[in-house]
Structure 1
């Protein structure tokens, strides 16, 4: 059984009744579900996930005033729930995983992942929040939320970045993919710098997977789940397989071929979404085109990239050299 399904069963079988019997006045003012840190909150948990921080558990989110006045009492009810369900022992807080389940303060919970009690609103605030934190704040499921306040924040965050922020991030990912994968990887291999080549490939892979999430308007999770999370995304549905093949490719020409294939796919999707008018697979060439789509000057249109130098470098280097990188 998956952790999310187990959490819902634990709540609906024993949790809801216990809360209604012991804190009935608070039940209409609490949100209940499972979200936050942990593979089960993303639906990625498997048999290997069960060796720590896994088992029947759920979150009870209270508004700040209710939490300050009644949080300890609600937590006591939660702690009194049966120690297992369907043969699975209830989750126990580990040394590094306390405060993930049980009674929680809703504003503090959002502040933990976004720095703000209701998440970012301004462009500057959006830019400061790590993408994986936004993925964590919007994953999982909400089982009950009569007030709707907790869910309202969650739904607003789930609508994804403001478009100008998304474009700025797409530009950054395209630049890293071009620099690390299309330029530095092959040059490092030619020089026999295999460690540098592996580091370049890692940079390309992380930026490339993040690019796929941005094109799907989804937040990329913590790095160890980034590839797993590509499964089922509607835009670039072959991305999971493309990056799997990249990870298994032989160093050198085969890896370069995989890199170019991914970049060609990404360039086509950028054009399909109206973010660029260019068609070439060299992603650096698309950065200035994308920057032109940014409407709010507060997001910043300045850039240090010089596409004319890049075009000249391409003529010098068959592997799409970048003029401002040595």
Structure 2
């Protein structure tokens, strides 16, 4: 079996073979590996190699050069690229019924490669839909783009950049300060709405319901912890991994794991309370609002331990100064689209971006 090589390393090797062809044509270009894929996040492994993986690259040209050279360049690369780099074939199989592509190491002749030749504008539209980060962005622009897509654009690697992709990535590196506060406020608001429901369900004999709500609070807690670190949250498959790669979250991860593993609602709410108190400690360390007490309290006299997430949300909303974001914070704190909904289809559908603006 071929030894595994991370996709970002394969992309770098592939660019070494693509670059001379571009230089011979005198083409200003950008070369990168960004967008969807575990390889872009540096999270690929042997399991990742079964589809939509392998030596691949995006080459960006100016609109004029793309019109003049893209088709010929694609064909030239078919004849000049090696059949493998890093021990992995550069030959892609035909797309399957689900649109994914495997590898075809047995093929011969010109290489059916994975070098995409496009423009910066096309790439940005694929990733962000109608949001153009090269222009002034409103708070709504930031909120209608899921964090996973912002991560896809700002993760990965740029190997050469004549056309300004690095500047776009720098601009999108993280939320503007007031949008950051708003996103945290929305997450705390969601916690405030849910934190008492898991023990209430457990007291009523609905252990399954208690577990389901606990899991929802823990998901929100994970997203919030990454926000506190000024990091975009990936979609749920990689949420725990992203948290584990953030060294300051050890105590939170331990408490969340204990809450999810607890077999009885009283123990579950105790461990969930530990997780939420740790989130409060982390919040206080940011110094963005007045100090919040770092302990649980009873919910309206009931034996349910909560930290009153709604209170933290109000403090964060009150710290916002940007007029547009203040107007958003004066309404129900629904948060960005991936805080509002875990739907993968909604996050992936760029065609709904303009419709989603009406939420804000």
TM interval, shorter chain, is 0.7 to 0.9
What TM-score, normalized by structure 1, do the two folds share?
0.82
Among 142, 145, 151, the residue aligned to 1:135:
151
Q: In structure 2, which of residues 140, 143, 168 is the aligned counterpart of residue 153 of structure 1? A: 168
Gap change, CA 1:94 and 1:56, over 3 Å in 2: same
Q: Residue 351 of structure 2 corresponds to which residue in structure 1?
A: none
Tell me the SS of whatever aligns to 1:227. helix
1:254-284 superposed Cα distances (whole Å, 9 cap, x missing partner):
3322311211111111111123322245122
Tell me: higher relative CO, structure 1 or 2? Use CA pairs within 8 A at least 6 residues apart: 2
Does residue 248 in structure 1 map to residue 247 in structure 2? Answer: no
Q: Does 1:90 align with 2:90?
A: yes
Q: Deviations over 1:147-194 (max 9, x none)?
A: 251111111111x111111111101111222322x2111111112223
Q: Please give the alpha-carbon distance, in whole angstroms, between the structure 2 residues aligned to 1:31 and 1:251.
A: 55
Aligned partner of 2:74 in structure 1 is: 75
3-state SS of paired residue (1:32)? strand
The aligned residue for residue 302 of structure 1 is 330
Cα 1:260/1:108, change in 2 over 3 Å: same
Q: Given the superposition, is the C-alpha separation of residues 90 and 256 from structure 1 closer, same or farther in structure 2, using an over 3 Å criterion? A: farther
Report the counterpart of residue 35 of structure 2 in structure 1.
36
Contact 1:37–1:136 (CA under 8 A) maintained in structure 2: yes
CA distance in 2, matches of 1:195, 1:251: 10
**2:204 equivalent to 1:191:** yes
Asked if the contact 1:19/1:77 (under 8 Å) is kept, the reply is: no
Residue equivalent to 2:117: 103
Structure 1 residue 242: Cα displacement: 4.2
Question: How many angstroms apart in 2 are the aligned matches of 1:215 and 1:84?
Answer: 42
Q: How many Å separate the matches in 2 of 1:208 and 1:50?
A: 32
8 Å CA contact 1:231, 1:237 repeated in 2 = yes
Change (3 A) 1:194 1:165: same
Among 311, 314, 318, the residue aligned to 1:288:
314
Residues 53-87 of structure 1: CA deviation (Å, up to 9, x unaligned): 11111111223333233222232234342232232
The equivalent residue for 1:321 is none
Contact kept, 8 Å, 1:166 with 1:214, in 2: the verdict is: yes
Do 1:61 and 1:104's aligned partners in 2 also have CA atoms closer than 8 Å? yes
State the partner residue of 2:53: 54
Structure 1 pair 65–124 and aligned structure 2 pair: CA distance change class (3 A): farther
The residue aligned with 1:16 is 19
Aligned to 2:133: 118
State the SS of the aligned residue for 1:6.
Answer: helix
- Structure 2: distance between partners of 1:50 and 1:244: 30
Unaligned runs of 5+ in 2: 102-112, 296-306, 334-360
Three-state SS of the structure 2 residue aligned to 1:43 is coil
Pairing 1:174–2:188 present: yes
How far has the Cα of 1:45 moved from its partner?
A: 0.7
CA contact (8 A) 2:32 2:58 kept: yes
Answer whether contact 1:55 1:89 (CA < 8 A) is retained.
yes
Query: Structure 1's 65 and 245: CA in aligned 2 closer, same or farther, altered over 3 A?
Result: farther
SS at match of 2:39: helix
Q: Is residue 2:179 matched to residue 1:165?
A: yes
Aligned length: 297
